[in-house]
Chains A and B, each alone.
Chain A
Amino acid sequence: MDRFLVQRIGYAILGLCALVVIVPILLVIGAILVQGIGALDWEFITAMPREGMKAGGILPAIVGTLVLTLGTALVAIPVGVGGAVYLSEYARDTWFTRAIRLAIINLAGIPSVVYGLFGLGMFVLFLHFGTSILAGSLTLAIMTLPVITSAAEEALRSVPVEFRTVNASLGGTRWQGIRQIVLPQALPGIITGVILGLLRAAGETAPILFTVAAFYLPRLPQSPFDQTMALPYHLYVISTQVPGMPLQIQSGTALVLLVLVLSMNLAATLIRSYFRRRRQW
Chain B
Amino acid sequence: MLGFSTVAFVLLIFLFLLREGTPFFFEVPLENFLGTGWYPTFDSFGVLPLLLGSILVTLTSIVIALPLGVATAVCVREVAPAWTREILKPMIEVLAGIPSVVLGFFGMTLLAPFIREALGVPTGLTAFTGALLLAYMALPTIISVAEDALDAVPKSYRDAALAMGATRWQTIWRVVVPGARSGILIAVMLGMGRAIGETMAVMMVTGNAARLPLSLDSIFRPVRTMTATIAAEMGEVADGSTHYHALFGLGLVLFILTFIINLAAAPAILQRRRGGGLR
Residues of A within 8 A of B (CB): 3-4, 6-7, 10-11, 13-15, 17-18, 20-22, 24-26, 28-29, 31-32, 35, 78-79, 82-83, 86-89, 91-93, 97, 99-118, 120-122, 125-126, 142, 145-146, 149, 154, 156-158, 161, 164, 196, 199-200, 202-206, 209-210, 232-233, 235-236, 239-240, 247, 250-251, 254, 257-258, 261-262, 264-265, 269
Contacts and interface: CB of A to CB of B under 8 A. Distances in A.
B262 A100 contact: no
Nearest to A78: B2
Contacts of B6: 83, 100, 103-104, 107, 145-146, 149
Contacts of A250: 105, 109
Interface string B258-278: 110111011001100100111
Contacts of A26: 91
A149 B4 CA distance: 12
B225 to A, nearest CB: 10
A106 B262 contact: yes
Q: Looking at A17, A146, A247, which has the most chain B CB atoms within 10 Å of its CB?
A: A17
B3 interface: yes
A151 to B, nearest CB: 11
Interface in B1-39: 1-7, 9-10, 12-13, 16-17, 19-20
Nearest to B237: A210
Given A4-B167, A83-B3, A254-B102, A121 B248 contact: yes
A5 B117 CA distance: 38
B278 A88 contact: yes
B213 interface: no
B191 to A, nearest CB: 11
A113 B270 CA distance: 26
Given A121-B19, A206-B200, A28 B227 contact: no
Given A7-B168, A118-B17, A261-B99, A22 B7 contact: no
Contact of A100 (B7, B17, B93, B136): B7
Chain B interface helix/strand/loop/mixed: helix
Interface of B: 1-7, 9-10, 12-13, 16-17, 19-20, 67-69, 71-72, 74-76, 79-80, 84, 87-88, 90-95, 97-106, 108-110, 136, 139, 143, 167-170, 172-173, 190, 193-194, 196-200, 204, 227, 230-231, 234-235, 239, 247-248, 251, 254-255, 258-259, 261-263, 265-266, 269-270, 273, 276-279
Given A122-B12, A145-B9, A262-B94, A114 B204 contact: no
Given A100-B4, A149-B6, A164-B278, 13 more contacts: A10-B172, A15-B80, A17-B72, A21-B139, A22-B87, A25-B95, A26-B91, A105-B265, A106-B263, A126-B16, A203-B101, A205-B101, A262-B98
Q: Looking at B72, B200, B258, which has the most chain A CB atoms within 10 Å of its CB?
A: B200
Contacts of A199: 97
A117 B269 contact: no
B98 A113 contact: no
B97 A121 contact: no
Q: What are the nearest 3 A-B pairs in CB distance?
A: A111-B197, A203-B99, A17-B71
Contacts of A111: 196-199, 227, 254-255, 258
B106 A28 contact: yes
Chain A interface helix/strand/loop/mixed: helix
A134 to B, nearest CB: 17
23 contacts: A14-B71, A17-B75, A18-B71, A22-B88, A26-B91, A28-B103, A83-B6, A104-B6, A106-B262, A112-B199, A114-B255, A121-B20, A145-B5, A158-B276, A200-B97, A204-B99, A205-B101, A209-B235, A210-B235, A233-B101, A236-B101, A239-B105, A258-B98
A172 to B, nearest CB: 14
A110 B12 CA distance: 13
B208 to A, nearest CB: 10
B13 A110 contact: yes
B94 A25 contact: yes
A4 B270 CA distance: 39
A130 B261 CA distance: 33
Contact of B76 (A18, A102, A206, A258): A18
A103 B7 contact: yes
A3 B196 CA distance: 41
Contacts of B234: 116-117, 120, 209-210
A114 B91 contact: no
Nearest to B6: A103
Contact of B93 (A14, A210, A269): A269
B154 to A, nearest CB: 22
B262 A109 contact: yes
B2 A82 contact: yes
A73 to B, nearest CB: 16
Contacts of B3: 82-83, 86-87, 91, 97, 100, 149
